[in-house]
């Protein structure tokens, strides 16, 4: 059974750094072709793709947010960590992690999401 779960702070102050962890089970990020991505959704708004990291450490970021995002993985813990620097209230959103496996071009399993509010 494949599961993913996001965890992290629910409230972050503007200009701070947000760190979110995706803990997954049922697959391994050391398996060729596997990737874990992050997608966020501001309250009442659309989904926005943020980034993805692959088994071989290849990492891709949304061009509009690239300078503020960092993805790392800990294969032994089955975790992926997303860091967002210099947060602003517009970063308030539910953050989802999801799995992608090459050569597929979709995200097949998603976490339940973690709501993060940026406010002073």
Partner 1 sequence: QSALTQPRSVSGSPGQSVTISCTGTSSDVGGYNYVSWYQQHPGKAPKLMIYDVNKWPSGVPDRFSGSKSGNTASLTISGLQAGDEADYYCCSYAGTYLWVFGGGTKLTVL
Query: Could you say whether residue 64 binds partner 1 (CB under 8 A)?
Result: yes
Rg (alpha carbons) of the chain, rounded to whole number: 14
Non-local CB neighbours of 1 within 8 Å, separated by 6+ positions = 25, 26
Candidates 17-25, 72-80, 82-90, 111-119; binding stretch for partner 1 (CB under 8 A):
111-119
* Interface characters, 71-110, with partner 1 (x: CB under 8 A): -------------------------x-------xxxxx-x
- Name which of residues 25 to 54 contact partner 1 (CB under 8 A): 37, 39, 45-49, 52
Closest distance between partner 1 and the C-beta of residue 58, in Å?
7
Comparing CA positions, the residue from 19, 7, 27 lying closest to residue 96 is: 7
Non-local CB neighbours of 25 within 8 Å, separated by 6+ positions = 1, 2, 3, 78
Binding residues vs partner 1 (CB under 8 A): 37, 39, 45-49, 52, 58, 60, 62-64, 96, 104-108, 110-113
């Amino acid at each position: 059974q494949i599961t993913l779960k996001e965890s992290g702070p629910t409230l972050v102050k503007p200009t701070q750094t947000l760190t979110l962890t995706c803990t997954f089970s049922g697959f391994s990020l050391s398996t060729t072709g596997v990737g874990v991505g992050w997608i966020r959704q501001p309250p009442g708004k659309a989904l926005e793709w943020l980034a993805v990291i692959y088994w071989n450490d290849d990492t891709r970021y949304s061009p509009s947010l690239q300078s503020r995002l960092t993805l790392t993985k800990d294969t032994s813990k089955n975790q992926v960590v997303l860091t967002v620097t210099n947060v602003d209230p517009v970063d308030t959103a539910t953050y989802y992690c999801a799995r992608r496996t090459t050569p597929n071009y979709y995200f097949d399993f998603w976490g339940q999401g973690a709501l993060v509010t940026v406010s002073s």
